[in-house]
Amino acid sequence: MHEPTDQQVSSVHVVAAARVQEPILTNLLEPYIHDFSEFHFVELGQDGRFGYKGLSDYWTEPDHHPFLITADNKLAGFALVKKARALTGDHQVWDMAEFFVVRAHRKQGVGLAAAHQVWKLFPGPWQVRVMNVNRGALEFWQRAIDTFAGQHIDPAPIERDGKTWAVFSFDNKAVVNG
């Protein structure tokens, strides 16, 4: 088994996932949801899989975008991006709906590079939502957003269904156009 290291990979790419790659995303969603189930109860289906409702929307809805992440030409994760109502207001923003890097590629700069690449694809306002109890993800997103924006961005606390979320809001136009 490959142990995560603190070494950097030489290349990270974010590539739009084609419809024929939906089964790959379906498979990657299983370890992602398993990791997430540590912080939020998710019921296994009768088939022993978590499943992900709405995945097919990423190929049929115009403001939904699925991506695969590679590190040194090896599959390393995925990102699901969509336009959504901002949790901190009534306007529409780009939302990092789901983001996952497999454990073997963590702590190597893969997630940071992939997140930055995704944000550059869609200029405008963004939000990234993180459950406060998910300390590792909260630290990752704080670092990723701060380094992308070139400044510290404080998240806003939001209560939803008895859980507290940190919602990072930023506009990437200065970074993309600058």
Identify whether 6 is part of a domain.
no
Identify whether 73 is part of a domain.
yes
> Residue 178: its pLDDT value, please?
55
How many domains, the chain?
1
What Rg value do the Cα atoms of the chain yield, rounded? Answer: 16
pLDDT digits (tens, 9 = 90+) for 101-112: 999 898 999 999
| CATH assignment of the domain containing 21 | 3.40.630.30
**125, 94 contact by CB (below 8 A):** yes
What residues contact residue 74 under an 8 Å CB cut-off, 6+ apart? 105
> E strands within the chain?
12-16, 64-71, 74-85, 92-101, 125-131, 156-160, 163-171
Identify whether 120 is part of a domain.
yes
Q: Exposed/middle/buried for 6, CB within 10 Å: 0-12, 13-18, 19+?
A: exposed
Identify whether 97 is part of a domain.
yes
Spatial distance between the Cα atoms of 60 and 123, rounded to a whole number of angstroms: 21
pTM for the model: 0.88
Identify whether 5 is part of a domain.
no
What percentage of the chain exceeds 70 in pLDDT?
93
Question: Is the model more confident about 177 or about 108?
Answer: 108
Spatial distance between the Cα atoms of 88 and 78, rounded to a whole number of angstroms: 25
Domain of 169 in residue numbering reads as 12-177
> Residue 45: its pLDDT value, please?
78
pLDDT digits (tens, 9 = 90+) for 76-131: 999 999 999 877 777 899 999 999 999 989 899 999 999 999 999 999 999 999 99
